[in-house]
Chains A and B, each alone.
Chain A
């Protein structure tokens, strides 16, 4: 009996594996190359539990007020699946690095859904809402979620699109702290 080619013998399994591979790749780049330097008058961060809707200028003011500290800005949305995965990691990191400022920016989202997301993952670092889209435009956002790492001098050091791993987050924070 003639032996069929592999692709005809196991098409379903192979196609499924390849399909999963494509899904694994996703449609987001892993690095953002945007440059950004916050300017303007310093504005204090909101306290945990508040979820103010702010403008792009106010966002930059908050970053300016954190000069001298490493700042991690995480742009997220409640409907974003990788955001749900990385949320506990970011909260844990905010507790492990008390000398680092964490700021969440909820964009393209509803206030109620955002509040539920924060409650669900018990996120206690400050979060703001970007209902106008100004913040994501200024940051040059390319996908959800994106984590931006700012050095103590306020310069943007890296932007990680599509969910950040524990290794990368820890390495970026430690590197920024050493600078």
Chain B
């Protein structure tokens, strides 16, 4: 017995970015191929995601290998993404590629992978949201609901295209827009997604935190950059990092 919906989601998440990468030309990826560059980062991201979820939901299981291996029990998105990004940046550094440039080149593919996963809610447990006459009826429900997952997929997909078209822009700017946009999409989606109780969900809280960090960092860079602009390029300048 296989959870075919989840299997299909994972397959699509791996295939769709790869197909796109085959048709594009990103300076720091084209030579070796997308999964040559990110397989290690993916693995580290998965492990950290799982460890983070265990630490929050089932700390007693952290020492149990069996508990750790049941990925289906949950993963934490942002810790995994940060860990994966750090791994990819470190790998780029080892190969004498500017880390931020590499991350900026990978951003569109990461975003399209996320959009694919959200869109694949149709094949998993369903695309949930608030009751709406314009919507779908997920399995087990009797009323139509707005498919928030599909809307997130659309928004993040557009963000992927935007960051791809920014590939000649400063890498720090591309990364900030990618991460900030993704955090915003997740935060907004959290408002509409069903939840138990009335407090903020973990997804909502962490996404708002990430968004706040991006915004504050961006403001700080903008203020310091304007006051001390010199001939030395910074991360938000062309060719920086």
Query: Which A residues form the contact surface with B (CB < 8 A)?
Result: 6, 9-10, 13-14, 16-17, 20-21, 23-31, 81-82, 84-85, 88-89, 92-93, 95-97, 120, 142-143, 149, 157-158, 160, 162-163, 165-172, 174-175, 178-179
Closest 8 CB pairs of A and B: A158-B140, A13-B39, A170-B194, A24-B71, A85-B73, A171-B194, A81-B70, A96-B197
Determine if B237 is an interface residue (Cβ-Cβ < 8 Å).
Answer: no
Distance in Å from the Cβ of A156 to the closest Cβ of chain B?
10
Looking across the interface, which residue of chain A has its beta carbon closest to that of B149?
A167
Contact B43 A175 (CB under 8 A): no
When distances are taken between beta carbons in the complex, the residues of chain B under 8 Å from A157 are 140, 142
Q: Choose among A23, A84, A143 the residue that contacts B58 (Cβ–Cβ < 8 A).
A: A84
In the bound complex, residues from chain A placing their C-beta under 8 Å from that of B232 are none
Q: Which residues of B contact A10 (CB under 8 A)?
A: 35-36, 39
Q: List 30 A-B contacts (CB under 8 A).
A: A13-B40, A17-B42, A20-B46, A21-B7, A21-B14, A23-B71, A25-B6, A25-B7, A25-B10, A81-B66, A84-B57, A85-B53, A85-B73, A92-B197, A93-B197, A96-B196, A96-B197, A142-B1, A149-B140, A157-B142, A166-B201, A168-B125, A170-B194, A170-B196, A171-B126, A171-B141, A175-B141, A175-B143, A178-B131, A179-B142
Binary per-residue interface labels of chain B (72-97) against chain A in the complex, 1 for a CB within 8 Å, 0 otherwise: 11100000000000000000000000
